[in-house]
Copies of this chain bind each other. A is one copy, B any other.
Amino acid sequence: MKKQLHPKSHRIAVLAEGSFGVLESKTATVLVRYLPDNVVAVIDSTKAGRDVNDVIEIGEGIPIVRTLGEAMQFQPTMLAIGIAPPGGELPPAWRAILHEVIGAGLHVMSGLHHFLSDDAELAELASANDVILWDARKPPENLPVATCKAADVDATVILTVGSDCRVGKMLSGIEVTHAARARGHNAEFCPTGQNGIMVWGWGIAIDAVVSDFTAGAAEQIVLEGAKNHDLLIVEGQGSLVHPGYSGVTLSLLHGSLPDAMIFCHQPSRATVARYTVPLPSLPQMIAQYEMLTVPIKPAKVLGLALNCFDLSEAAAREAIVAAEAETGLPATDVVRFGAEKLVDAIQKVHREL
């Protein structure tokens, strides 16, 4: 969990060739959202000449360019790979681009499953050009099996959980952390996935950890965060009803042993994305999480973070009211309406501990 290549100390060109603004370039969007002062250009020849804000409604003033060569005029010191394809492999066409990038003396930040630093050809080239290949997804060596140590930290631990992947567990975590800091709390966001790590500068991508040690990795993240902070917002992963990733989700729950949870959901979503699995009701999903905490360290869901990006403002407000009525818990869309309600609920838990 060393702070290698902290992104906030770099001028970043983001590679999102052919897919900026769509789901596959979630990483690019996240970098623009949380590192707007560091991202100097986005590379996507299919949208070149436009402003980032025209495509994703954030990042005003950041240009989209055709090539690395064009991006170089903005003097980047780092290239960030801005896509996260399923499986995480390096698209073959990108190898040539990486040769060019490394040859131009840029460091590379990647969240791919395929570790650039383990790729003999790229590693040699990076060494020859004195640049670092930082694989945000590469876990540290010698992670332990979890031993419930996270239950002993003095910090209040909040975990963002949810109904599915890509419903806002990372984003809600960061927004809540910002809002808590604005109220004077010594709060820290604890990243558990490559995108969070790339914007926040530390963490462990727990889905890249061997399963015996996944909960242990989550435990390490909490122990690390608790060294210097008294309120931790741990980034959740996956969902208990996700056929592929539910094990990651439960490892994170039992490794981080939160004091309370924030439940994240996209109201317009009825099935697990890319699967035909229907999502249970909010109370059913919340009950699953709470029930699984009981034997080890009981924790409740304290509020809901609803991702209403695809709803009108009126529909978003309706969805929030409906979710509050259905669950009896405070709900918000942190991007649209702020995280204040959730910080209120966290403060209550924090004071009680």
Contact surface of A with B, Cβ cutoff 8 Å = 86-87, 113, 144-148, 206-212, 214-216, 240-255, 257, 275-280, 288, 291-292, 294-296
Which of B147, B209, B215, B288 lies in contact with A246, CB distance below 8 A?
B215
20 contacts between A and B (CB under 8 A): A87-B145, A148-B277, A207-B210, A210-B210, A210-B211, A212-B248, A214-B247, A215-B247, A240-B292, A241-B295, A246-B250, A246-B251, A246-B253, A246-B292, A247-B247, A247-B248, A249-B250, A277-B296, A279-B295, A288-B292
* B-chain residues with CB within 8 Å of residue A254 when the two chains form the complex: 242-244, 246-247
User: Which of the listed residues A87, A214, A252 has the most CB atoms from chain B within 10 Å of its own CB?
Assistant: A214
Question: When A280-B294, A295-B279 are in contact, do A214 and B211 touch as well, CB less than 8 Å?
Answer: yes
User: How far, in Å, is A245 (CB) from chain B's closest CB?
Assistant: 7
User: How far, in Å, is A286 (CB) from chain B's closest CB?
Assistant: 12
User: How far, in Å, is A173 (CB) from chain B's closest CB?
Assistant: 19
Across the interface, do A207 and B215 meet the contact criterion of CB distance under 8 Å? no
Across the interface, do B250 and A247 meet the contact criterion of CB distance under 8 Å? yes
User: How far, in Å, is A22 (CB) from chain B's closest CB?
Assistant: 20
- Can you name the residue of chain B whose Cβ is closest to the Cβ of A218? B247
* B-chain residues with CB within 8 Å of residue A248 when the two chains form the complex: 211-212, 247, 251
* B-chain residues with CB within 8 Å of residue A252 when the two chains form the complex: 247
Across the interface, do A280 and B295 meet the contact criterion of CB distance under 8 Å? yes
Across the interface, do A209 and B210 meet the contact criterion of CB distance under 8 Å? yes
- Can you name the residue of chain B whose Cβ is closest to the Cβ of A257? B243
* B-chain residues with CB within 8 Å of residue A292 when the two chains form the complex: 240, 246, 288
User: How far, in Å, is A211 (CB) from chain B's closest CB?
Assistant: 4
* B-chain residues with CB within 8 Å of residue A216 when the two chains form the complex: 244
Number of chain copies forming the complex: 2
Q: How far is the CA of A276 from the CA of B242 in the complex (A)?
A: 29
* B-chain residues with CB within 8 Å of residue A277 when the two chains form the complex: 148, 295-296
Across the interface, do B243 and A247 meet the contact criterion of CB distance under 8 Å? no
Across the interface, do A208 and B210 meet the contact criterion of CB distance under 8 Å? yes
* B-chain residues with CB within 8 Å of residue A215 when the two chains form the complex: 243-247
Q: How far is the CA of A247 from the CA of B238 in the complex (A)?
A: 12
Across the interface, do B296 and A145 meet the contact criterion of CB distance under 8 Å? no
Q: How far is the CA of A275 from the CA of B254 in the complex (A)?
A: 13
Q: How far is the CA of A215 from the CA of B294 in the complex (A)?
A: 24
Across the interface, do B212 and A244 meet the contact criterion of CB distance under 8 Å? yes
Across the interface, do A278 and B295 meet the contact criterion of CB distance under 8 Å? yes
* B-chain residues with CB within 8 Å of residue A242 when the two chains form the complex: 254
Question: When A280-B295, A296-B243 are in contact, do A148 and B211 touch as well, CB less than 8 Å?
Answer: no
- Can you name the residue of chain B whose Cβ is closest to the Cβ of A209? B211
Across the interface, do A243 and B210 meet the contact criterion of CB distance under 8 Å? no
- Can you name the residue of chain B whose Cβ is closest to the Cβ of A294? B280
Q: How far is the CA of A209 from the CA of B214 in the complex (A)?
A: 10
Q: How far is the CA of A292 from the CA of B253 in the complex (A)?
A: 15
